[in-house]
């Protein structure tokens, strides 16, 4: 279970801080999850973000949601990876 504070991945302007490497990939994934979970107008059949753990060519999508205590959560059915993200409110990826 990944427990993420989104602000740890952002710079002082609110943009993604890591420039390259695994940290950047993970930050891209986490922000995509926030945008997906908070976009309440998203049609049900739209696939979620691609799982960062599964191999890219396997195209496994994660399910996202916002919990009652305002955590963004994700879960990959294929590999079982899951996580929760806090402090996403007001970020560029908060579409709620
Ligand atoms: Zn996965």
d(CA 51, CA 53): 5
Rounded to the nearest angstrom, the distance between the alpha carbon of 84 and the centre of ligand 1 is: 15
Rounded to the nearest angstrom, the distance between the alpha carbon of 53 and the centre of ligand 1 is: 5
Which two tokens mark 44?
A: 């049900």
d(CA 83, CA 44): 21
Rounded to the nearest angstrom, the distance between the alpha carbon of 62 and the centre of ligand 1 is: 7
Rounded to the nearest angstrom, the distance between the alpha carbon of 54 and the centre of ligand 1 is: 4
Q: Is the dihedral of CA 35, 30, 77, 70 positive or negative?
A: negative
**How confident is the model over 57-92, as pLDDT tens digits?**
898 999 999 999 999 999 999 999 999 999 999 999
Strands 82-86 and 72-75: antiparallel
pTM: 0.94
d(CA 89, CA 55): 30
Question: Confidence band (pLDDT; 50, 70, 90) for 26?
Answer: very high
């Amino acid at each position: 279970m990944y427990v993420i504070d989104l602000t740890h991945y952002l710079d002082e302007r609110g943009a993604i801080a890591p420039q390259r490497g695994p940290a950047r990939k993970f930050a891209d994934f986490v922000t995509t999850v926030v945008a997906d979970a908070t976009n309440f107008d998203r049609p049900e059949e739209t696939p979620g973000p691609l799982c960062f753990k599964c191999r890219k060519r396997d195209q496994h999508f994660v399910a996202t949601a916002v919990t009652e205590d305002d955590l963004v959560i994700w879960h990959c059915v294929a590999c079982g990876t899951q996580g929760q993200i806090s402090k996403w409110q007001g970020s560029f990826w908060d579409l709620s």
